[in-house]
Amino acid sequence: MCDGKLLGDPAQQITGAASLVEATDGEVSFFNNPKYAAQLRRTRASAVFVPSDFSEQIAAAQIRVSNPAKAFEQVVLKLAPKPIEFAPGIHPSAIVDPSVRLGTRVSIQPHAVVETGATIGDFTVIGAGSYIGHETIVGANCIIYPHVTIRERTRIGARVVIHSGAIIGADGFGFEPAEGRYEKVPQVGLVQIDDDVEIGANTTIDRARFGRTWIQEGAKIDNLVQVAHNVVIGKHTVIAAQTGIAGSVRIGQRVLIGGQAGIIGHIEIGDNTAIGAQSGISKNISGGAWWASPAVPLAEAKQQIAWVRRLGKLFARVKEIEKKLGLS
């Protein structure tokens, strides 16, 4: 299955898969990071996928492969229960407007609502209790999990996965002061989500004030992420949980954003940039790794932390010098 080289008993039966810490007799695990060497030595797994150049002696059987994590994943998929499948058709409790255009083998689950003028592509599943707004287009082979809200005129491509609780197309946070109070700025744009995007649970993506909020092909967005109006997220960018992105930010391709990062509005983040967890981005940045708040290049951030941690010793030395010099 994985083109591996076995060092161990080929008659050993494998009945499950688990991490190095949790694995027991009859289970297979994997090792591909030196920082887990101690766990590897203590594991009770019967077999372990290891790198091709692995040379250490361990109690478990070794299966040497080029990519231990990938090989382990293949085995997990073989051992795992079959994916849940939804029969095509419209559940009697669902509400689907007669004007809705449904593709081949679409599945509309209980209590879902699909409004006037919507289009649902071939083999797409609309989960229980989900809402598809007026004139929204959902492409083929999408999975919309239960209790997702997709508001009017949203455009969703093919093979998109949206997890429970996500809200796509809510109004952007647009208000202007007027005579001592705030008046709402109409949010008349839309949200466009391209092919192969995945959006995590309870994430919110706001519609544009005008034009579009645009999530481009292959982007992956974790749970509890806020994407404000008119944001553009480039192809194959990955955003971890609890990140907040303010309005009109433009994020390039293949960007990595760690959890709880905060990005102020109307700035640009260039292609191939990495942003560490809990960073605050307050200006245009591009390329390399950035961290801290406000974010600076990673090497500079580490140096600043080192300086701060040495301040106590520095103060003590200064006091000692002042004492020797007779200064108060």
Which residues form the catalytic set?
229
CA angle in degrees (0–180, nearest 5) for 154-155-161:
100
Does residue 294 have a cis peptide bond before it, meaning omega lies within 30 degrees of 0?
A: yes
Helix/strand/coil (H, E, C) string of 219-273?
CEECCCCEECCCCEECCCCEECCCCEECCCCEECCCCEECCCCEECCCCEECCCE
Q: What is the DSSP string of 180-231?
A: TEEEEPP---EEEE-TT-EE-TT-EEEPPSSSEEEE-TT-EE-TT-EE-TT-
Q: What is the CA radius of gyration of the chain?
A: 26
- Alpha-carbon dihedral 73, 76, 78, 81, rounded to 10 degrees: -130
> Contact, 42 vs 22, CB < 8 A?
no
Q: Indicate the residue type of 323.
A: K
> Contact, 259 vs 242, CB < 8 A?
yes
Q: Indicate the residue type of 68.
A: P
Neighbour tally for 233: CB within 10 Å: 30
Mapping DSSP to helix (H, G, I), strand (E, B) and coil, where does residue 154 land?
coil
Spatial CB neighbours of 14, under 8 Å, sequence gap ≥ 6: 26, 27, 28, 46, 47, 75
> Contact, 288 vs 270, CB < 8 A?
no
Cα(25)–Cα(20) distance, rounded to whole angstroms? 12
Tell me the HSE value of 227 on the side-chain side, using a 13 A CA sphere: 37
